Amino acid sequence: PEAFSPTPGTETATHYAEGGRKHPETHPLFAGPRIVDAEGGIVEVIPKRKKVAIVGFASSSREQAPYFDPEIEIWSINQLYRYTVRADRHFEMHQRPVFEADTVRDTDYVGWLQRTTIPVYMIETQPDMPMSVRYPVERVIARFGRDYFSSSIAFELALALFEGFEEIHIYGVDL
């Protein structure tokens, strides 16, 4: 697989200083997810992939995620977009006042959420964020009979199980 770092000479044009791709949907293996119903939390990828990698912030393993495996969807969280070279779906499961107040200095996370072209799961859709998707919490709870979402990773794991992924890989999560 290709190294995690951007191509030399392209860093300022296409990548963030931390190494992430400014437009993850331009990655050659981008899954091409499509929002079917933003309020219902329905996103589809055709052809459907059977494997998903949930990627968190921990530097111990986030760079080991299989960004260059065509069989795996990549799911990112919060402000991780600055570090990943590919993300097929993104999760921001905090209330808006929380993620606005918690933005890393000298970054434009809210602007990124407003401009991104990948689906972003949230507690509720945001009118100024066209790719926001309401997380289908009621359907997930109805399926599994339990309401225990203690972290963004828990939301991602539940959705991956709900959607029937056969393999779930976890990187960058040191909980």
Asked whether the predicted pLDDT for residue 72 surpasses 90, the reply is yes
What region, left, alpha or beta, does residue 164 occupy, with left being phi > 0 and alpha being psi -120 to 50 degrees? Answer: left
Tell me what pLDDT residue 22 has: 83
Q: Average the pLDDT over each of 10-14, 25-29, 124-128 and give the range with the smallest value.
A: 10-14
Whole-number mean pLDDT of the chain?
90
pTM: predicted TM-score of the whole model, two decimal places: 0.89
Sorting pLDDT into bands at 50, 70 and 90, what band is 13? low
Sorting pLDDT into bands at 50, 70 and 90, what band is 2? very low
Cα 20 to Cα 83: distance, rounded to the nearest angstrom: 4
Q: Are 5 and 19 in contact (CB under 8 A)?
A: yes
Whether the link from the prior residue into 127 is cis, omega within 30° of 0, is no
Residue 61 CB: number of other CB atoms within 10 A?
Answer: 14
Is the C-alpha dihedral spanning 95, 171, 136, 34 positive or negative?
A: positive
Sorting pLDDT into bands at 50, 70 and 90, what band is 105? confident
Three-class secondary structure of residue 152 per DSSP: helix
Beta carbons within 8 Å of 37's beta carbon, 6+ residues apart: none
Cα 130 to Cα 133: distance, rounded to the nearest angstrom: 9
Q: Are 64 and 84 in contact (CB under 8 A)?
A: no
